[in-house]
A and B are shown apart, each in its own frame.
Chain A
Amino acid sequence: MNDDLIEILDHTADLAMRIHAENKSDLFKLSARAVYQAVGKPIAQDIPGEKYTLELRAGNQEDLLHDWLAEILYYVQVRHILFDRFEFEAINDTYLKTVAEGRPLDLTRSEFEVEIKAVTYHHLKIEQTDQGLTATFIFDI
């Protein structure tokens, strides 16, 4: 996984992103990284992380991705927690459970460049490609 797999797309008013990954858990991990890239440069404190269990249910895979992005965003923007090392216990089209290592942000070193209002449902999609999976989503900024 590397950040080259995160693309920023052109959109007049908002921020659109596309993620490429081999499988669903990588797609969700990279999507979390895309959230961090979108908000700026969030930096965690140099202390041992705590385990957080994130468990989400949704009606389809796009809604699940939406809720995942919203959850990551909530933790970084509101709770000031940065996640790393997601261990997925389960992930399918409508359910995921993962244990993440979360550390509080170092607010003296973190840079917040963009205030993301929300993850929108506009053009939100996950598609199967020859290389794996592609997710597209738009943040309202």
Chain B
Amino acid sequence: MSSQVWNGPLNKIDDYHYEIPMSYKPGMRVPGSIIASPELIEPIRHNQAMEQVANVSMLPGIVRCSLAMPDIHWGYGFCIGGVAATDPDQQGVISPGGVGYDINCGVRVLRTHLRADEIRPDIESLIKKMFNTVPTGVGKGGKHKFGKSDTKKILSQGVKWIVSQGLGMAGDIECCEAQGCIEGADPDALSERAYQRGEDQCGTLGSGNHFMEVQEVQEIYDQKIAKAFGLEVGQVTVMIHSGSRGLGYQVCEDAIHQLRDVPAQYGITLPDRQLVCAPVHSPQGKHYLAAMRAAANFAWANRQILTHLAREVFKDFFHQKLESLGMELLYDVAHNIAKMEYHDVDGRRKLLCVHRKGATRAFPAGHPELPERYRPFGQPVLIPGDMGRASYILVGLPEVMQLSFGSTCHGAGRVLSRSAAIQAARGRSISRELADQGIVAISRDRQGLAEEQPMAYKDVSLVVDAVVGANLARKVARLKPMGVIKG
């Protein structure tokens, strides 16, 4: 379909910034701005992701530019790896497509007191136990069941409610973006189908690219900040990637359905129906925001229960108490979300609606939204890579606020379609290839590992080098996979 090469105009600003000029298409309100390195920019042209960047620039009230991060790839409506901020006072809109179906899909990292060398001989057994404990895969229900009234508490309180049920540790709330709960969530804004789809899914990993991974801190790039984040070489960490599951998907589905005739009511012309939107201040915009926030809180609660399960696995496996395992939450970030945030625009402080569709918040040192323990250093920015190479922990630089509304990449970014990845895996055993590198990978089926094999993704190191080169963030640590479970 639209996988042909994109031949639109792209101006090189410097080695890490590229621009789609407003003259490219009628209706563009701001330029498109792509963060990428010379090495990454050409492959990005191989599908229609750039066209999507240009389309997003047509949203009413968009401020400064339509941004894309170096892990950009072709999505639907918004590209994946996109950032767009709109000004509600200038008829700025909120677009459910700018958040995506998996509302508050995100990542968290737990640090431990364990040493990689000590656990390496047992890694296979540990990962098997993890796989047998953590609900994974399509349609898999969770061990913790919540009735509708408890689900409503989850939707309004997020991580706080889960911790109040004994499924958390001190620090779990403080170390989540937004403390694991966005204010303004309305559980009554969700449809019955959304409740049905989320019924037994809080505390489940899901399928696709979601995972739980045991990692080794392989390299430290910034000793001072790594120390503040509690990281050192050889330490074991656990990374969790999941989102709002079926409940979030249905919230987005309902919103797009409800909004599909709304742009015309406000005289908004859109190049792609997946970009449906409503002014932030409109009744329709407020309704979606209230539902989206509830789903975001559900996602934080989901990752909190997954964290509890990971801690239980480690406690049982190593016969140690949590205190001695030290499985504290380093941080939890959302990478599919829309947040109301203050940003400086032309010298004025403005409250903007920042859409991050496959992009990670990366607030720098001193930002008031950061927990006290990280405020002198900046927010830990968690960048998962693929299951064969590496993941990174970065920290936002001051320039990130002006350059990208406090945002960086969210991962490596796909380069192969799922069918191409399956095709490329024919005759190979991905699990054996990973085992040869000392990595234990378990999935429900061979197809899951084939779709998610390392070569299906860009090299995350190149992606991270581009956000570092663009002055958005600095590297703090590199994490090497030891074992991973996939849905």
Instruction: Give the interface of A toward B (CB within 8 A).
Output: 8-16, 39-40, 59, 63, 67, 70, 74, 77-78, 112-115, 117-124, 136, 138, 140-141
Contact = CB atoms under 8 A, between A and B. Distances in A.
Given A9-B1, A10-B3, A122 B274 contact: yes
B90 interface: no
Interface in B1-49: 1-3, 47
A114 B256 CA distance: 22
Contacts of A14: 75-76
B206 A12 contact: no
Interface residues of B, number: 44
Contact of A118 (B47, B249, B445): B249
Interface string B264-287: 000000001110100000000000
Nearest to A16: B1
B462 interface: no
A121 B277 CA distance: 13
B316 to A, nearest CB: 28
Nearest to B197: A78
B138 A136 contact: no
Contacts of A120: 76-77, 274
B25 to A, nearest CB: 17
A118 B101 CA distance: 7
Interface of B: 1-3, 47, 73-77, 80, 100-102, 137-139, 193, 196-197, 206-208, 246, 249, 252-253, 256-257, 260-261, 272-274, 276, 414-420, 445, 447, 487
Contacts of B415: 12
A77 B253 CA distance: 14
Given A112-B139, A141-B418, A13 B207 contact: no
A70 B417 CA distance: 23
Given A121-B273, A123-B1, A12 B253 contact: no
A79 to B, nearest CB: 8
Contact of B138 (A13, A78, A114): A114
Given A77-B139, A140-B76, A117 B419 contact: no
A39 B208 CA distance: 12
A113 B257 CA distance: 26
A118 B1 CA distance: 19
B417 A123 contact: no
A67 B193 CA distance: 14
A121 B418 contact: no
Contact of A74 (B101, B193, B207): B193
A11 B1 contact: yes
